């Protein structure tokens, strides 16, 4: 029975290490998709001169999940609820960031961008999109660096912590 418990501890902590490592790998991918979605939003606003609701709907059809779900929800909320764009963006950003592995800094970048969305003319809006993209570029580099530095270490640490605890308890 002790050996079964020891194996369970090793397996559980190794699994936790792999899960954490997977989150570290997914964060840069998610930031890249966010950047792509903002670039598509810029094209929709500047060149197509689409409304925010139409642009969000178009973005949701062009990018992968889970970011597509965020833009789909924003478009649906804009269609059905008479509240302000910023309130919808803020609420959906909170919901989105709660369900994915983004830092509070990326969440704040999205919220700051949402404050300016739809408030200015096309040229100013393009500048705010470029500013958000610059901030996301910086965060992407940080996320890639964290994944490079800690990705393998977290996997190994999970296994080693499991082995250490199992040996300690035996």
Mean pLDDT of 8-19: 90
Computed over every residue of the chain, the mean pLDDT equals: 89
Reduce the secondary structure of the chain to three states and give it as a string: CHHHHHHHHHHHHHHHHHHHHHHHHHHHHHHHHHHHHHHHHHHHHHCCCCCHHHHHHHHHHHCCCCHHHHHHHHHHHHHHCCCCHHHHHHHHHHHHHHHCCCCHHHHHHHHHHHHHCCCCCHHHHHHHHHHHHHHHHHHHHHHHHHHHHHHHHHHHHHHHHHHHHHHHHC
For residue 155, name the pLDDT band (cuts at 50, 70, 90): confident
Q: What is the pLDDT of residue 78?
A: 86
pLDDT digits (tens, 9 = 90+) for 112-141: 998 888 787 888 888 999 999 999 999 999
pTM over 0.75: yes
Flag whether pLDDT at 82 surpasses 80.
Answer: no
Q: What is the pLDDT of residue 139?
A: 93
Enumerate the domain spans of the chain: 2-169
């Amino acid at each position: 029975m002790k050996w079964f418990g020891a194996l369970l501890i090793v397996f559980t902590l190794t699994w936790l290490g792999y899960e954490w490592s997977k989150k570290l790998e997914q964060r840069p991918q998610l930031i890249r998709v966010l950047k792509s979605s903002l670039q598509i939003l810029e094209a929709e606003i500047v060149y197509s001169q689409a409304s925010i609701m139409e642009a969000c709907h178009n973005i949701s059809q062009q990018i992968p999940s889970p970011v597509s779900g965020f833009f789909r929800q924003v478009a649906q909320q804009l269609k059905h609820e008479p509240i302000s764009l910023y309130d919808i963006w803020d609420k959906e950003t909170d919901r989105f960031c709660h369900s994915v592995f983004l830092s509070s800094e990326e969440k704040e970048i999205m919220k700051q961008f949402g404050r300016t969305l739809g408030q200015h003319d096309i040229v100013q809006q393009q500048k705010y999109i470029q500013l958000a993209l610059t901030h996301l570029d910086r965060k992407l580099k940080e996320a890639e660096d964290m994944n490079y530095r800690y990705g393998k270490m977290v996997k190994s640490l999970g296994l080693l912590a499991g082995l250490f605890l199992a040996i300690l308890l035996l």
